[in-house]
Amino acid sequence: MRSLANAAGREAGVYIGLMSGTSADGVDAAAVVLTDGAPPRELGFHTFPYPSRLRDRVLRAVDGEAPPSEVNELHMLVGEAFGMATQMLLEAGGAPPAGIVAVGSHGQTVWHRPPTERSPRGATLQLGSPAVIAARAGVPVVSDFRSADVAQGGQGAPLVPYVDWMLFAHPTASRALQNIGGIANVTFLAAGCDPGSVVAFDTGPGNALIDVAVAELTRGAATMDVDGAMAARGTPDEGLLTRWMAEPYFRRTPPKSTGRELFGKAYALRLVDEAR
């Protein structure tokens, strides 16, 4: 956060951001204008769903079921998907590649082991070759944000707090922003805070467990609970909730981050079995 806040000489212009989260359902692509001293201005945004076969293979890798040869191939295929998303966003917005300063690509996380007291050296892996993205889109690509943070001793996630600070920090009001993706995270912005005093961490599982449960309960007919319709038809089980809230991760103090390595398919299926 502090190094980002102190970065000097940023070139004003149009940037593209690419992201695929823990849900692994597609590529979010946004084009924004960044100018020093002014809020970011959105030019365009679109989500490009993964082809079903590619998503299945990514989730196999996330679950540790893919051999190194397949992970290697997926690195290129995900890069192709990110490059295609960039091309399509540019075509939709009418902005020529020559007008883009750079693309920032988070990639597709397939393994995330943050540093802990017992294991202070963290490791994180994102697929989506930046070289492929650059070749397909014809635009310079910046990537490996998580790895860079882990190399500096950070958790590698969440990565959104700096943008939260840019967009939502207020001189007199404190704000908390909760994001529920595959994994959920919170950013706390105290009134008048600077980037170095922002507090953010992963709060625990989000849609990742729900998606697995939906696929299991529908025998693969659905991959997500659209608009929460299935959940709305149910009745909360306070006993189960109390038991599940005893998960040790929830009691850990920040900084902390997590992923499907803990809250993955096996974890979700265990909860489904307990609820039956």
Of 41-45, 69-73, 185-189, 241-245, the least confident: 41-45
Residue identified by tokens 């109390």 is: 242
Q: CB of 204 within 8 A of CB of 258?
A: yes
The phi and psi torsions of 5 (rounded to 5 degrees) equal -65, -30
Give tens-digit pLDDT for 15-69: 999 999 888 889 999 999 988 778 888 888 999 999 999 999 999 999 889 999 9
The tokens for 176 are: 């908390």
Q: Which two tokens stand for residue 37?
A: 């001293």
pLDDT class for 7, splitting at 50, 70, 90? very low
Q: Looking at per-residue confidence, does 1 or 215 come out higher?
A: 215
DSSP structural state of residue 115: -
> Tens digits of per-residue pLDDT, 117-150?
888 888 999 999 999 999 998 889 999 999 999 9
**Mean pLDDT value across the chain:** 91
> Average pLDDT for residues 88-99, to the nearest whole number?
76
Of residues 78, 188, 94, the one with CA closest to residue 136 = 78
Which tokens hold the place of 270? 């265990």
Helix (H, G, I), strand (E, B) or coil at 13: strand
Residues 6+ apart with CB under 8 A from 133: 18, 79, 82, 83, 86, 103, 105, 141, 143
pLDDT of 233 reads 94
Give the domains, in start order, of the chain with CATH numbers: 2-151 (3.30.420.40), 161-275 (3.30.420.40)
Q: What is the pLDDT of residue 95?
A: 63
Give the largest CA-CA distance in the chain.
58
pLDDT top residue among 175 and 276: 175
pLDDT band per the 50, 70, 90 thresholds, residue 94 = low
The model's pLDDT over 216-226, given as tens digits with 9 standing for 90+, comes to 999 999 999 99
Type and span of the H or E element at 24: none
Distances (CA, A) of 167 to 175, 194, 217, 250: 11, 13, 39, 28
User: What is the structure's pLDDT at 3?
Assistant: 47
pLDDT band at 6 (very low <50, low <70, confident <90, very high): very low
3 state SS for 174-237: CEEEEEECCEEEEEEECCCCCHHHCEEEEEEECHHHHHHHHHHHCCCCCCCCHHHHHHHCCCCC
Query: Residue 104's pLDDT band (boundaries 50, 70, 90)?
Result: very high
pTM here?
0.87
Strand order of the sheet with strand 183-189?
175-180, 183-189, 199-205
| CA-wise closest residue to 96 among 37, 193, 31 | 31
